[in-house]
Amino acid sequence: MKLLSRISAFLPLAVSLIWLQFLPDRVPIHFDVSGNIDRWGSKWEHLIMPGIVLILGLIFLLLARYELKKGAGNEKALAHAKANQKVLQIAMIATGVLFAAMQGVLLYSASREASENAAKSSVELSRVTVFGFGVLYIILGNYLPRAKKNSYVGFRCGWSMYNDVTWLKTNRFAGWISILTGVLIVLCAILLPGTWVMISFLILLGFSLVISLVYAAKVYQKEKKEAYADGSNPHG
């Protein structure tokens, strides 16, 4: 799993470097909401996103290593660190593979547009991007409940971080919401007309965030009330 997550961090960059060998120096770089090309530039600008994914992957790996070191000597902390490390690795693998696929589609589209000197994208990139994020939400939603309380992975807010119970319940709920949201996003990317794909994507993201926050607040209020009623440590 560790090796696969490391490879995945480099995958979008590797795909880009291979594709770029076959592209002309000047390619489409940016598109408006209708898919019209509004800026051309150097093909090497297409390395920016893979570079960001690589940096993100390295940060994930460093965080996982830090947690393992911090948990050394404490059986419970070490078990939690290992669980969070696995979630981070799954997140990195899913992110790397999906971004590599989306980067491949983007560069394929750029090669066609450059060869035809096109004025509009040959592929609905917004639809591809939204579809990819929908799949990512489904994958991460399946693993979100496995994360233990920590400072960097999972559904984190003041309410969910209150104690272990609020963390567990909130992340289980957020995991199911992420899966549902991901399925709806994928369906929107497939079925809706182009102008509505991104709009529906943003609406669904906002909905999933708000409903998860509302649930976290509800669980927090219940836990806080019970903790002070029996005089126990509310942050135990």
- The 10s digit of each residue's pLDDT in 155-166 is 999 999 999 999
Question: What is the dihedral angle through the alpha carbons of 37, 41, 42, 46, rounded to the nearest 10 degrees?
Answer: -50
> How much is the pLDDT for 231?
61
Mean pLDDT for 209-220 is 96
* Mean pLDDT on 217-233: 82
Answer whether 160's CB lies under 8 Å from 221's CB.
no
Say if CB 76 and CB 146 are below 8 A apart: no
The span from the CA of 94 to the CA of 138, in Å, is 10
Same domain, 236 and 184: yes
In a domain, 132, yes or no: no
Asked which of 123, 155, 177 is the last residue of a domain, the reply is 123
166 with 105, same domain: the answer is no
**CA–centroid distance for 88 within its chain:** 11
Q: Is 21 helix (H, G, I), strand (E, B) or coil?
A: coil
Measure the CA dihedral 201/207/209/213, to 10°: 180
User: What pLDDT score was predicted for residue 236?
Assistant: 46
Task: Tell whether 193 and 119 lie within a shared domain.
Answer: no
Q: Are residues 107 and 158 in the same domain?
A: no
Kindly state the average pLDDT of the residues 101-108.
Answer: 91
Within this chain, do residues 6 and 97 fall inside the same structural domain, yes or no? yes
Are 159 and 219 contacting, i.e. CB atoms less than 8 angstroms apart?
Answer: yes
Residues 117 and 148 in one domain: no
Q: Is 88 exposed, middle or buried (0-12, 13-18, 19+ CB in 10 A)?
A: buried
Same domain? For 110 and 165 the reply is: no
- How many structural domains is the chain composed of? 2
| Residue 232 predicted with pLDDT over 70 | no
Q: Per the domain annotation, does 136 fall within a domain? A: no
Is residue 52 located within the same domain as residue 169?
A: no
Q: Are residues 59 and 18 in the same domain?
A: yes
**Whether pLDDT at 28 is above 50:** yes
Do 176 and 99 belong to one domain?
Answer: no
pLDDT band at 230 (very low <50, low <70, confident <90, very high): low
| C-alpha pair distances (Å), 29 with each of 24, 207, 234 | 13, 31, 52
pLDDT at 153 over 70: yes
**What is the C-alpha separation between 54 and 48, in angstroms, rounded?**
10
Instruction: Using the predicted structure, report yes or no on whether residue 1 has a pLDDT greater than 80.
Output: no
- At residue 235's C-alpha, the angle toward residues 230 and 236, to 5°, is 75
Structure tokens that stand for 53 in this block: 């994914």
- Give me the domain span that covers residue 104: 1-123
Average pLDDT over residues 15-34: 88
Secondary structure tally for the chain: helices H, strands E: 6, 2
Whether 113 contacts 28, CB under 8 Å: yes
- Rounded to whole angstroms, how far apart are CA atoms 107 and 89? 27
Separation CA 45–CA 26 (nearest Å): 10
Nearest to 178 by CA among 143, 219, 152: 143
Three-state secondary-structure class, residue 36:
strand
Quote the pLDDT of residue 233. Answer: 55
Per the listing, tokens 């440590």 go with: 233
